[in-house]
Chains A and B, each alone.
Chain A
Amino acid sequence: MKLAGLKSVENAHDDSVWAATWVPATETRSALLLTGSLDETVRLWSSDELVLERTNTGHCLGVASVAAHPSGLIAASASLDSFVRVFDVDTNATIATLEAPPSEVWQLRFNPQGSTLAVAGGGSASIKLWDTATWDLIATLPIPRPEGPKPSDKSGSKKFVLSVAWSSDGKRLACGSMDGTISIFDVARAKFLHHLEGHFMPVRSLVYSPIEPRLLFTASDDMHVHMYDAEGKSLVGAMSGHESWVLSVDVSPDGAAIATGSSDRTVRLWDLSMRAAVQTMSNHTDQVWGVAFRPPGGSGVRTGRLASVSDDKSISLYDYS
């Protein structure tokens, strides 16, 4: 397996690009790359040439996270002022605006079934679930404190929730916090199951394997990528190699490899069978905030694609094979 650089767009945004995700292909068009940036815009790019399709404005602060519905029809973007905009991918019509108190929206993810949007609740130390049909709040899943609430510690800052991920079957939800703990929830019962220990610095990104619903990959500021058996509450493997914070992680559609982006300005490809980095891409000149594998599907596209976005305002596209 290897990555080969295909295309790179310098100055794709006016400022740092912070988030990237793929909008799955629909009948009428192929998959699109969705990026969010500090310049308060969200942009849509068509692959493989990375032609700018549209620029969505409307956020007052930098866009910290973007998410795409599995249908490929709608997408959501969230900015630092905790303002979530859900819009039609093709028309840019606003479908809903979800407002939360500031500091209480961080990462967004649609569940694989497309019925729910999970929002990492930042300072509220919880995950909020929104119904994608009515755009009502379905549930709030709070993270319990390990030692019970302390009266002196009023601030919830210890459990600031940064990241969220759905299992491939949609039954489990994992979230990463700034203190390094990972919490697993049972979605159907809206119940907290357990913590996964191992990281001791913020977990900024996590992702379930598309093949194995138990397998969870996490990226943390402690420069490690962990592989957990989420059900078994156990650390399966720890992979080191990045020289700075690991900011993002994504699993390849075949479940055989993961890609990570890091503050050390590199993108690494890890072979899961070898549990080691097989390739390091250092084409970015600043920290890499997002990596995303293109989901399979669409008209005649069989080859794998990986996109990475960085503080250097550029987007890079690689061929994954």
Chain B
Amino acid sequence: MEKTEEESEEAVLKRLEESVNACPDDPSLHFDLGVLLWEKGGKSEKEKAAEHFVISAKLHPQNGAAFRYLGLYYAQVSADTQRALKCYQRAVSLNPDDSHSGEALCDLLDQQGKESLEASLCREASAKSPKAFWAFRRLGFLQLHQNKWSEAVQSLQHAIRGYPTSADLWQALGLAYQRLGRFTAAVKSYGRAIELDDTDVFALVESGNIFLMLGSFKKGVEQFLQALDISPQSVSAQYGLASGLLGLAEECINLGAFRWGASLLEEASSVAKAGTHLAGNISCIWKLHGDIQLAYAKCFPWTEQGQGLEFDAEAFNASILYWKQTCCIAAVSAKRSYQRALHLAPWQANIYTDIAIASDLISSLNKSYGNNLNAWQLSAKMALGALLLEGDNNEFWVALGCLSDHNALKQHALIRGLQLDVSLAVGWAYLGKLYRKEGAKQLAKQAFDCARSIDPSLSLPWAGMSADFHARNLAPDEAFESCLRAVQILPLAEFQIGLAKLALLSGHLSSSRVHGAILQAVQHAPHSPESHNLNGLVCESRFDYQSAAAAYRRARCAISSCSASISKSYTRDISLNLARSLSKAGNATDALLECEDLKKEGMLDAEGLQIYAFSLWQLGKQDLALSFVRNLAASVSTMEQKFVVASVSFICRMLYCIPGLDSAINSILKMPEKLFQNSRVSFIVSAIHALDQSNRLESVVSSSRSFVQSPVEVAGMHFLIALSKLVKQGTEFCLGVQSGIAHLRKALHMFPNSSLMRNLLGYLLLSSKEWNDTHVATRCCNIDASDSANKVGLKSASEILGAGAVACYAIGNKNRKFSFPTCTYQCLKEPGAIQQLQKCLRQEPWNHNFRYLLILNFIQKAREERFPHNLCVVLKRLISVALSSDLYTKTDMSYQKFQLLLCASEISLQSEDNIGCINHAKNASTLLLPDDYLFFSHLQLCRAYAAESDSLNLQKEYIRCLELKTDYHIGWICLKFIELRYNVQNDTNILELSFKESSKERNYSWNMGMAVFNLVWGLISLRNEDFLSAEEFLAQACSLAGAESCLLLCHGATCMELARKLCDSKFLLLAVKSLTKAQETSVIPLPIVSALLAQAEGSLNSKEKWEKNIRLEWFSWPPEMRPAELFFQMHLLARQSKSVSISSSNVELCQSPQRWILRAIHTNPSCTRYWKVLGRFDLIQRS
């Protein structure tokens, strides 16, 4: 096959040769032959081909291809560059799109170094044809080479249209954009180049550099990492990575994240170090390494070692030493690196400044100028070195101004700097600092103001402004704000310490911004006692006394290891702070030790004495404490005014605590009255006064109360007075709740907004055990108030609502399906207590009180709904969760535990788990509680045994109940009920007697109690079918309870029954009377009442009233609960009305009597009466 091809080629060649011979003037034949020969590749053939090309070109000089082949021939075969050039030139000028010739031509020109010729050629070709992309490409590269950036951009853009996938072109375009400062365009071009060729290190590095320049260090770092992946030896990528990491670290440090910054710097340092190994003679890498180390030395944070609670001075000192050493080593390393940089490039002025800064840092860390033989300090001298090289650089002047030790030189340098550039904010700021240090306040102020107006993002002027706020007449708040700004701009330890000081003055100490700042300050100034002391103060204001004490200990330790002299009073202040925070943290022993140390040095002032006495008292050394209190009292007269109030308050309290009430009162009476003329003292005195039954302090209290003025304080005082009334008006066993309530009611009139008083009032009302007060209690508290206002006082509004809801079953009951509340206090509009308590519990899941109240409310709800299964399950779980809490092991919570156990017992009883019920109740009966309460656990046991029909145990528990007795009449009533119901053997009438005893004290409630008691009797009589006595009991109950619709209904029903039995109309009249009253008094229409009344009236032949009452009855039932009998009655009514045919507005007319009957049968198909009536209807219809 090949052979035939060859042969055919030969044949073609031959034929062509023949035809050329035939017509030697045809250029195209010559050209074709030339191409054919050229392709054959041998040297002789090429020479022959060249001959043909020459002929072809001569005959047809417009054929560019011929010239191209000739060019190729001269360049490759005969090495005649000049001719090759000419041929190529001709080829290109004939066909500017001929990239082959163009490239070859340019390469030849390039070899000869004729750059400008090359450029002009390309320009010419590109001007001739827009498709000469090769020319654009060449031109672009050349222009790039000649730094003609904007022209290069155009050429390259054009060239990219021809070669869109050439990474080199995109890279070149990126470079051109970068040099033009069009960074986003450059990044895009580089990105395209990287997309096309992901090993393009140049594009990666350059785009990384652009990112660094634009400040997006993170992106830059990514680019450099990628570049290093491809080329791990690339110094520029390493340099970029290290500087990117440095940038990131600086960002972190400016945010205050020192540890993060330090770790980034460690990484950066190792990268830079690797760079110096690769290229040790590049000055800028050493400088970068120096920068990184210097930043590290400045930012490395101190960390406390040994996190134990015990303070270890040695460990503390060691950790400071370690911190200092680390910083120092980094600074020395920075200095060394700068020196290497300088050694490599001593003509670079800025490195002198860098060395100056590094050595300044080292000397400030070492605080020693040791082996310095020069008169000049090294840092100042090196700063001067920079100036000698570049005297017109204002930054160098400022650096000299900062680093020099001589104030005159400083001032001169700064002013020179400002002469060079008057808007140099840094210069103004340092000048201000210098003036401030020298005491020239006015000049300092001007300089700072100037700096701030030039550059408000500079921190120093803000700090300076806040530092002399006294001179500027700034409020401490404003000073605090401006210092805060300084700290936010630059987290410098000095600023942060200043911020904490200002916070102390302006009362922002507990702000978390100050807390954060002082923690950072401690990290950078662990050797300064001040930072630790302020940290302690901040912790103390945040109620973290343990940390505060630790901080003060560190502060004291820092003082002892500090070389500079520190005033004694400062040491004393710290010791006092320490003693105080220890005492607050509950560590009285250590606090005492501190106070004793202070006393030994004779530096115990009023505050110290207070702490001393308090600690002694806490440790039980009463006499010693008392003697110190006396000392304190003796020194009150000579005390500064600001200490007097605290001291007097303290003395009063300690006197009350140690010797007791009488001694306290006597001492108070002895003290001059002017000491009590303060609102805070007034509270203490009033509290003591409250406990004193003989009112000896009346005059002192009344005079000091006139100093209670602010509304909040006055409300608080009313609160206290109300409590004192409880104590004073009460008996030995019972607090005078009513008088407290009376006072609060009056006071609340003046301060209707005070939730403090409202909540107390609610609490007192709940405790008053009076019948209706629970309803008032829930209404006097404002649960809609914001949470913070809700918490004040002894109980929160939500707790009062919850407790009140338990006390009255009607509160929160909205569903009329289950019961018809007869409570006349109209609590139905109240929001659901259960919902409210759930809200509270969700807000504070740790609050056991809410959970407890929620359980009680749920029990109430379950009882109302006859203990449905689902509620029982919920309750069981809630109770078991509550009981599992450790809280209830405490004795002061045992009442709650008792209640919860009884609830659990009740739930068990209702779910027919008698054993569980008995166990819970027995558990409850073992708790240590007053007999009053324990009574109920035995009552519950009675019920459980009754349910089990275990009469022996029932009897036992019954007797136990009688022995225990209770104050709560409901207990007796229940017991009585059980006694009667289960025929418990009972010889005496202890029960009745105890009952009467128990309810004597409450006037209104006593009536109610008696009424219920009678109701029980009546119900039992009814059960025994002794209607006459039942009627008597119930009549008595009604008369006692007044208008209670439920009792009236019972009475009415009994009377009806009696009337039916005895056919005595006297009872009918009685029934009518009771039932009418019941109808009138009930808040919501009670069912049955109207029906019975209708029956009674009907029996008395008052048809009209019968009709009216039947209709009323219809509406008093909820629609889904209407009984069959009601439909039947409606049928009767409908028939009546039909015959009379009154207006159609009456309800019974909405359907026919027959349909009424049908509905009755539908509701209750088992009643034959209805069927019969229906049958009658059928008869009528059929007839």
Contacts and interface: CB of A to CB of B under 8 A. Distances in A.
Interface of A: 15-16, 18, 38, 57-58, 60-62, 64, 80-83, 97, 99, 101-104, 106, 122-124, 154-158, 160, 162, 178, 244-245, 247, 263, 286-287, 311
Contacts of A124: 388
B280 interface: yes
A58 B382 contact: no
A100 B863 CA distance: 102
5 contacts: A57-B371, A58-B373, A61-B339, A102-B384, A155-B389
B365 to A, nearest CB: 15
Contacts of A82: 381, 385
| Residue of A18, A155, A245, A263 with most partner-chain B CB within 10 A | A155
Contacts of B349: 103, 155, 157
A160 B391 contact: no
B347 interface: yes
Contact of B390 (A81, A104, A122, A157): A157
Given A80-B355, A156-B389, A286-B280, 14 more contacts: A16-B340, A58-B371, A60-B371, A62-B336, A82-B385, A99-B374, A103-B346, A103-B352, A103-B385, A106-B346, A155-B389, A178-B345, A178-B347, A287-B280
A18 to B, nearest CB: 6
Contacts of A286: 280
Contacts of B29: none
A18 B342 CA distance: 12
| Residue of B281, B340, B347, B348 with most partner-chain A CB within 10 A | B347
A106 B384 CA distance: 16
B378 A61 contact: yes
Contact of A97 (B340, B372, B373): B373
A60 B355 CA distance: 11
A102 B381 contact: yes
A167 to B, nearest CB: 25
Nearest to A106: B346
B693 to A, nearest CB: 84
A102 B339 contact: no
Given A61-B339, A103-B388, A287-B280, A160 B346 contact: yes
Question: Which range contains the number of B residues in contact with the other chain?
Answer: 20 to 34
Contacts of B343: 18, 38, 62, 64, 80
| Residue of A16, A58, A80, A178 with most partner-chain B CB within 10 A | A80
Contacts of B352: 102-103
Interface of B: 280-281, 335-336, 339-340, 342-343, 345-349, 352, 355, 359, 371-374, 376, 378, 381-382, 384-386, 388-392
Given A102-B381, A178-B347, A123 B388 contact: yes
B384 A155 contact: no
A288 to B, nearest CB: 11
A102 B346 contact: no
A156 B382 CA distance: 17
Contacts of A263: 280-281
Classify the secondary structure of B's interface with A.
helix
A157 B355 contact: no
A60 B373 CA distance: 9
Contacts of A287: 280-281
A249 to B, nearest CB: 16
A220 to B, nearest CB: 13
Contacts, number: 101
Nearest to A178: B347
A155 B374 CA distance: 26
B340 A38 contact: yes
Classify the secondary structure of A's interface with B.
loop
A38 B342 CA distance: 11
A122 B335 CA distance: 20
A236 B122 CA distance: 43
A155 B342 CA distance: 17
Nearest to A157: B347
A287 to B, nearest CB: 5
A15 B378 contact: no
Contacts of B381: 81-82, 102
Contacts of B382: 61, 81, 102
Contact of B346 (A60, A122, A245): A122
Contacts of B389: 103, 123, 155-157, 160
| Residue of B281, B340, B345 with most partner-chain A CB within 10 A | B281
Contacts of B372: 60
Contacts of B336: 15, 38, 62
A154 B391 contact: yes
Contact of B378 (A60, A62, A64, A123): A60
A44 B373 CA distance: 22
A60 B1067 CA distance: 123
Nearest to B280: A287
Contacts of B378: 60-61, 81
B345 to A, nearest CB: 8
Nearest to A14: B336
Given A102-B382, A157-B349, A311-B280, A80 B339 contact: yes
A102 B388 contact: yes
B359 A60 contact: yes
A171 B734 CA distance: 120
Nearest to A64: B343
A39 to B, nearest CB: 8
A244 B382 CA distance: 30
B56 to A, nearest CB: 51
A317 B376 CA distance: 38
Nearest to A247: B281
| Residue of B349, B359, B385 with most partner-chain A CB within 10 A | B385
A155 B280 contact: no
A154 B392 contact: yes
A57 to B, nearest CB: 7
Contacts of A80: 339, 342-343, 346, 355
A38 B336 CA distance: 7
Given A58-B371, A123-B389, A263-B281, A160 B339 contact: no
Contacts of B374: 60, 81, 83, 99
Nearest to B375: A99
Nearest to B277: A286
Given A38-B336, A58-B373, A61-B355, A104 B388 contact: yes
Contact of B385 (A16, A57, A102, A162): A102
A285 to B, nearest CB: 9
Contacts of A158: 347
Contacts of B342: 80
| Residue of A57, A81, A101, A106 with most partner-chain B CB within 10 A | A81
A85 to B, nearest CB: 8
A80 B359 CA distance: 13
A120 B1139 CA distance: 139
A38 B349 CA distance: 19
A15 B333 CA distance: 10
A106 B347 CA distance: 11
B667 to A, nearest CB: 70
| Residue of A64, A83, A102, A263 with most partner-chain B CB within 10 A | A102
Contacts of B390: 154-155, 157
Nearest to A61: B339
Nearest to B392: A154
B388 A245 contact: no
B340 to A, nearest CB: 7
Contacts of A156: 389
Contacts of B388: 101-104, 123-124
Contacts of B384: 101-102
A154 B381 CA distance: 20
Contacts of A15: 336
A60 B374 CA distance: 9
Identify the 8 closest CB pairs spanning chains A and B, nearest first.
A102-B385, A160-B347, A263-B281, A103-B385, A62-B339, A157-B347, A123-B389, A60-B378
Contacts of B281: 244-245, 247, 263, 287
Nearest to A287: B280
Nearest to B391: A154
